[in-house]
């Protein structure tokens, strides 16, 4: 019997754990799910005889090593900063590891040691990163194999609310970690367009967007991810003139979110004095020059050069930033306060469903003729447990875990899923589970 250790039982792990348990009888697996919240772990395994839940503390060296030693493969759905502890033990104990997170510099340094141990550390096999890598590489390899020369590659992905449950003026609700959404884009975005390097500072990020229609789910805008340039090496596109990766939101979101960026509400570097006793209105007023003759609303409009009839003002007002609700958080940063405000408005309700949208845009030369292809994915969540995000993050991880255990994936070292031996079988099974890309030739 093969023993699978899953670390982390959060929202993104539900589909993963369900898949492993459902397939445990046929494949002779036993699944152990460990989490700091044993209640969460117990809920994830239910009454299955092929699984058990345990309390797990990743910082407990003895427990971590003992559980890894007693497993045949480890799946880490822990926060990214915790993967290295697990990965180091996996290499030392010669156990394969699967994660959905980006390869960190620390983890990358384990590559040679992992190869010497015959161990695979497979990372970036969730949604983004993950499905984006595999679906892009499949088409990139197909284009190259028929003699095409790629001249432009753009890729966009977003987690959004299902169109049938999209009832607020922002056309957005949290389907992922709210803190990450509030802090998104900080730093400088970098990409290349027609052979020219381009850089977008955070203060301009949400002003420079690209618009697109995706299948039949509406009009979207994409803002640049922090680093598009590294994907040239990952995808074998070292000399491509244009490469750009971005995050999707519904049209109009970015212009409105940019107001909070310009005010400084997304700053996470300092604490607001007396924050626990301030109202949202007083918090908003902190960012304007002193003026006791104008209302906060008037200062807002003057500072940002918007009218009180504009969509942007109405969205800010709907968000509650002018209300007299008490913040109630001691020594809080502006970003944490804004997170609290947005969570009160953007949290999915019990009946809500989510949606994942992804689109790759390819341009290439074939026989001196320019060709364009859009490859698009839309996945809908079923309910608050079986969300689109849980499916698209968890299923690739689960499928890869099965393929490694069955000996179909034989790679070793620190890897991401950009090679055929990984992406072909994973994408094939994802397609059988309703995660399909639709390709359109653009004239």
**All domains of the chain in start order, with CATH:** 2-123 (3.40.50.720), 131-256+351-380 (3.30.360.10), 258-346 (1.10.1870.10)
Quick one: pLDDT at residue 177? 87
Burial class (CB in 10 A: 0-12, 13-18, 19+), 270: exposed
Confidence of residue 308 (pLDDT cuts 50, 70, 90): very high
Mean pLDDT of 246-261: 97
- Would you give the end-to-end CA distance of the chain in angstroms? 54
Quick one: pLDDT at residue 11? 85
Mean pLDDT of 220-242: 95
Mean pLDDT of 7-16: 92
297: left (phi over 0), alpha (psi -120 to 50) or beta: alpha
pLDDT(176) > 90: no
Quick one: pLDDT at residue 440? 94
Say if strands 369-380 and 209-213 run parallel, antiparallel, or are unpaired. Answer: unpaired
Mean pLDDT of 236-255: 96
Mean pLDDT of 121-149: 96
Quick one: pLDDT at residue 303? 96
| Alpha-carbon span 356 to 201, nearest angstrom | 27
Least confident of 285-289, 347-351, 394-398: 347-351
| Alpha-carbon span 210 to 198, nearest angstrom | 15
The mean pLDDT value of the chain amounts to: 95
Quick one: pLDDT at residue 21? 96
Mean pLDDT of 61-66: 96
Tokens of 306: 């918007």
Mean pLDDT of 398-423: 96
Per DSSP, what are the bridge partners of residue 171? Answer: none
pLDDT(321) > 90: yes
| Alpha-carbon span 103 to 121, nearest angstrom | 10
Query: Is this prediction's pTM over 0.75?
Result: yes
Quick one: pLDDT at residue 101? 92
Burial 44-81 (b: 16+ CB within 10 A, else e): bbeebebbebbebebeeeeebbebbeebebbbbbbeee
The DSSP 8-state label assigned to residue 269 in this structure reads: S
């Amino acid at each position: 019997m093969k023993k699978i250790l899953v670390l982390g039982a959060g929202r993104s792990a539900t589909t993963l754990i369900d898949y492993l348990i459902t397939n445990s009888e046929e494949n002779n697996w036993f699944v152990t799910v460990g989490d700091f919240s044993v209640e969460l772990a117990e809920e994830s395994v239910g009454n299955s005889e092929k699984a058990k839940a345990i309390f797990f503390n990743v910082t407990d060296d003895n427990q971590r090593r003992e559980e890894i030693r007693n497993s045949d493969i480890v799946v880490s759905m822990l926060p990214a900063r915790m993967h290295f502890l697990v990965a180091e033990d996996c290499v030392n104990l010669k156990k394969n590891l699967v994660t959905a997170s980006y390869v960190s510099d620390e983890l990358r340094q384990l590559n040679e040691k992992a190869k010497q141990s015959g161990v695979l550390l497979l990372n970036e096999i969730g949604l983004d990163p993950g499905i984006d890598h595999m679906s892009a590489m499949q088409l990139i390899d197909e284009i190259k194999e028929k003699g095409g020369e790629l001249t432009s590659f753009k890729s966009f992905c977003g987690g959004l609310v299902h169109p049938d449950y999209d009832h607020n003026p922002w056309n957005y609700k949290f389907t992922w970690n709210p803190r990450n959404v509030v802090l998104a884009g900080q730093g400088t975005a970098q990409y290349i367009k027609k052979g020219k390097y381009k850089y977008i500072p955070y203060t301009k990020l949400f002003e420079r967007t690209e618009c697109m229609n995706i299948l039949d789910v509406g009009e979207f805008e994409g803002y640049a991810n922090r680093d598009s340039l590294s994907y040239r090496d990952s995808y074998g596109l070292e000399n491509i003139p244009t490469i750009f990766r971005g995050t999707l939101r519904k049209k109009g979101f970015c212009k409105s979110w940019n107001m909070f960026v310009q005010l400084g509400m997304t700053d996470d570097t300092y604490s607001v004095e007396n924050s626990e006793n301030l109202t949202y209105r007083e918090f908003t007023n902190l960012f304007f020059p002193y003026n006791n003759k104008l209302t906060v609303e008037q200062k807002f409009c003057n500072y940002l050069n918007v009218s009180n009839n504009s969509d942007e003002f109405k969205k800010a007002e709907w968000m509650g930033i002018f209300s007299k609700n008490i913040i109630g958080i001691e020594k809080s940063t502006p970003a944490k306060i804004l997170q609290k405000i947005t969570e009160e408005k953007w949290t999915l309700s019990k009946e809500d469903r989510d949606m994942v949208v992804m689109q790759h845009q390819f341009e290439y030369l074939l026989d001196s003729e320019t060709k364009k292809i859009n490859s698009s994915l839309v996945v809908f969540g079923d309910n608050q447990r079986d969300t689109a995000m849980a499916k698209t993050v968890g299923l690739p991880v689960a499928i890869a875990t099965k393929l490694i255990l069955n000996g179909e994936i034989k790679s070793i070292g620190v890897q991401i899923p950009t090679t055929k031996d990984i992406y072909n079988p994973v994408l094939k099974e994802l397609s059988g589970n309703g995660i399909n890309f639709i390709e359109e030739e653009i004239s």
